[in-house]
Amino acid sequence: MSLKSEFSEFISKGSVMDLAVGVIIGAAFGKIVTSFVEDILMPPIGILIGGVNFADLKLIIQHASTDAAGKAVAAVTINYGNFLQVAISFIIIAFSIFLFVVKPMNKFKKKPVEAIVEPPAPSTEEILLGEIRDLLKK
């Protein structure tokens, strides 16, 4: 089988196409949730904790300065506010995917049908002993 035909067969499989569609939809869904968190959810949370904008939260390691040539040197900061915002976005995305994708898929999955286990048939000795017992009862 040639490389071209093998690749063509691989691409034409349904699972590859499903994966591609899933990745595209997931990326779009991620942008929606990120916008929801940054633009709608975080501003009220910031107000509740004292008017803080999470994007402005940072730890300054080195303040902005100018070097000997008079060129401005930017401040060095750890932007933990952005990290908090991204972490909250991740939690919301994960919960949303669980709630709207995983839960419905689990609900629609077919539950495995339990096979009815029949007891093994009695051996010929057991059958003969049963017949002898029945004859002796008469």
**Mean of pLDDT values over 118-132:** 88
State yes or no: pLDDT of 93 exceeds 70.
yes
Phi and psi angles of residue 97, each rounded to the nearest 5 degrees, phi first: -65, -40
**Mean of pLDDT values over 113-118:** 80
Structure tokens at 26: 């997931």
Element at 66 (helix H, strand E): strand 65-66
pLDDT digits (tens, 9 = 90+) for 17-36: 777 878 888 888 888 877 88
Against a cut of 0.85, is the pTM above it?
A: no
Instruction: Please report the pLDDT score of residue 14 as a whole number.
Output: 65
Phi and psi angles of residue 118, each rounded to the nearest 5 degrees, phi first: -90, 140
Domains of the chain: 3-113 (1.10.1200.120)
Mean pLDDT (the chain) is 83
What share of the chain in percent tops pLDDT 70?
99
Least confident range from 5-14, 36-45, 78-87, 89-98: namely 5-14
- Find, among 105, 87, 107, the residue nearest to 42 by Cα: 87
Count of CA atoms in the C-beta half-sphere (13 A) of 118: 3
Instruction: Please report the pLDDT score of residue 78 as a whole number.
Output: 92
Q: Give 61's pLDDT tier (boundaries 50, 70, 90).
A: very high
Instruction: Please report the pLDDT score of residue 73 as a whole number.
Output: 87
Phi and psi angles of residue 66, each rounded to the nearest 5 degrees, phi first: -120, 140
